[in-house]
Amino acid sequence: MVRAQLLPLLATALIALSVADRAPREVVSPVDRWERVEVTASAPDTAAAYLEALGAVIEVRSHDRVQAQVPSGRLMELRAARSLLRVEPRSVPMLLQLPSALTLLGVDRWQAAGFRGHGVRVAILDAGFEGHEDLLGSTLPARVAVRSFRSDGAIGAGIDHGTRAAEIVHRVAPEAELHLVNFNTVTELSDAVDYIVEEAVDVVSFSLGFIHNGPGDGTGAVDEIVTRGMEGGAVWSVAAGNWARQHWSGMFTDSDKDSVHEFSPGMRQNSRQFEAGDLMIVSLRWDDVWGAACSDYDLELFDPGGSLVRASRQLQDCTGDPVEGLRVLATESGRYGVRVIKASDDEPRLIDLMLVGSPGRGSPLDVYVGEGSLSEPADHPRVVTVGAVSPLNPSSVASFSSRGPTVDGRSKPEVVSPTGLVDALEDGESFAGTSAAAPHVAGLAALLTEAMVGAGPAVIRAQVTGRAVDRVAPADDESAPPLFASLGSLAGLGLLLPVAADEAKMSGELPPGAGLAALAYSGPDGYPLRFAHLLTPGREPRAWFHFVIEGQRWVSFIPGAPAAFNDLESIVDGSVVFGWFAATAPPDDRATGPANAALGKP
């Protein structure tokens, strides 16, 4: 044992004598390069001593490993000492982090090219915007227009769902003019949509859903209101819903003729987990004439102990809708089950069951069918219905994401998008589900609206769907997955911001009100005047003029005008241009922000 202990000491001594016989140890200059190396050795003490003899600084020792900073001039010598140690190949851990949603969607490239949603109006139509005032000027614009259509006029309503959606739109399109609009009933929604039309909103972000508000074919009360909203010229980005695993559909089956539906052989109840205090929402719809249903089905809800909690037994007598529904608070935690009863003597119908809750915990049914799980108005044929990709794998559709087909056989959603779990918001919280996916796509529509001057909503919708890419795998019960939302190429969109555009500036004094200003431009050549508003923050240039000495003539650029009207597109370093600015917008009590100013549109 003594001999074994002496061997490392003897080796160390021999190394020290060998080093002493050489030229005096050189001093490493502070300007010399150092390299971090990791070595392994059967005798790590010996390896550490050798490293120090080379002038290295030991950083970490662990078991048979030594990490050190070594003068770069001694690396070859170190690598040659194979009998003492092994220099390990450099290996660093990679962060297992998903790409940001902005990168996945191509937004980062479009923002760098100059597109930020300038001049585009986006309405976030939601249930509540609690806390939005505290975010003005940070994760929300400094000024936003707000309007509540709730009967109590509460814009917050104790709900921050709309605030989160608005933050996402602002991240994608940071210069878009945001309208925060909330409601609580279908009638209030109708009133809110009229307001959106009056305000000439370009894009609507809608992250809410109604259950069985229509037959599932794009018609019904909510869908008709949305249709009216689209006639005002807006593109609607609508969340598909998060209910793929809380939905069941199929033919009513009753093998033993007891009038109770069998979800599978011998299975007369379908259940899911709820927590005490959850609002349980149960809805049954079947295939019959909307507004004139003659077939009759009933719905029963049972608690975890098997006792009947409540039943819905409306009489369908050819004058109502083919729907039964329940809204009940869970009194205890556990699995609540649902039964479907056939109360008429006609032929069995195709039935459609939803068992969801608030808060939405995502607990699945015992057996579920993802297909046909859309909410309304996600079934509308002209909205862009948006599903969600998996929070941890953007190449697959999230298992909770609702999907079509619609009752009339249309494929939905058109696109899928990242959720808030891909990009945590600045306060460290996240916003997930298709509620987060839809505002991402609304932001894309805002950037496309800015880029494609004069394009109508049909063109923008076609651009959103046409630019999407085949990047996701289908869900388990899905044959054809939707496309992944993406802005795609910038080709053909006109002049873009040049390299180093962030260094550009306009020097001069803007008029206090409406008027003309002479401004000197400095920055990279070829700066497009379509983005000159970036150089005059807070003021909107209505027109630009430049005098061309050669030819003694004036040329001009009018933002938003067709290209044929503009004979000046870009400016070069040292140019002097004259900008015509409108007066600042008057105050308006519908807007909130430091200046309480309205968001006026040219």
Task: Please state the rounded mean pLDDT for residues 225-230.
Answer: 96
Q: How many CA atoms lie within 13 A of 473 on its CB side?
A: 8
Query: Is the model more confident about 428 or about 319?
Result: 319
Q: What local confidence, expressed as pLDDT, does residue 591 receive? A: 54
Is the confidence at residue 7, as pLDDT, over 70? no
> For residues 287 and 269, what is the distance between their CA atoms, to the nearest angstrom?
21
Task: Please state the rounded mean pLDDT for residues 441-468.
Answer: 96
Q: What local confidence, expressed as pLDDT, does residue 592 receive? A: 57
Looking at 14-23, 144-153, 415-424, which range is the least confident one? 14-23
Q: Sorting pLDDT into bands at 50, 70 and 90, what band is 478? A: low
pLDDT tens column, 290-306: 999 999 999 999 999 99
Query: Is the model more confident about 359 or about 204?
Result: 204
Q: Sorting pLDDT into bands at 50, 70 and 90, what band is 475? A: low
Read off the amino acid at residue 319: T
Q: What local confidence, expressed as pLDDT, does residue 31 receive? A: 37
Q: What is the pTM of this model?
A: 0.81
Q: Sorting pLDDT into bands at 50, 70 and 90, what band is 561? A: confident
Read off the amino acid at residue 51: L
> How high is the mean pLDDT of the chain?
88
Task: Please state the rounded mean pLDDT for residues 11-31.
Answer: 34
Is the confidence at residue 96, as pLDDT, over 80? no
pLDDT tens column, 49-72: 999 999 999 999 999 999 999 998
Q: What local confidence, expressed as pLDDT, does residue 16 receive? A: 32
Q: Sorting pLDDT into bands at 50, 70 and 90, what band is 128? A: very high
Q: What local confidence, expressed as pLDDT, does residue 444 receive? A: 98
What's the full length of the chain, in residues?
A: 602
pLDDT tens column, 362-372: 899 999 999 99
Q: Map 154-184 to HEC letters.
A: CCCCCCCHHHHHHHHHHHHCCCCEEEEEECC
Q: Sorting pLDDT into bands at 50, 70 and 90, what band is 33? A: confident
Find out whether 358 and 278 touch, Cβ atoms under 8 Å.
yes
Residue 17: which residues within 8 A CB-CB, separation 6 or more? none
The 3-state DSSP class for residue 299 equals strand
Best CA proximity match to 397, nearest among 505, 477, 335: 477
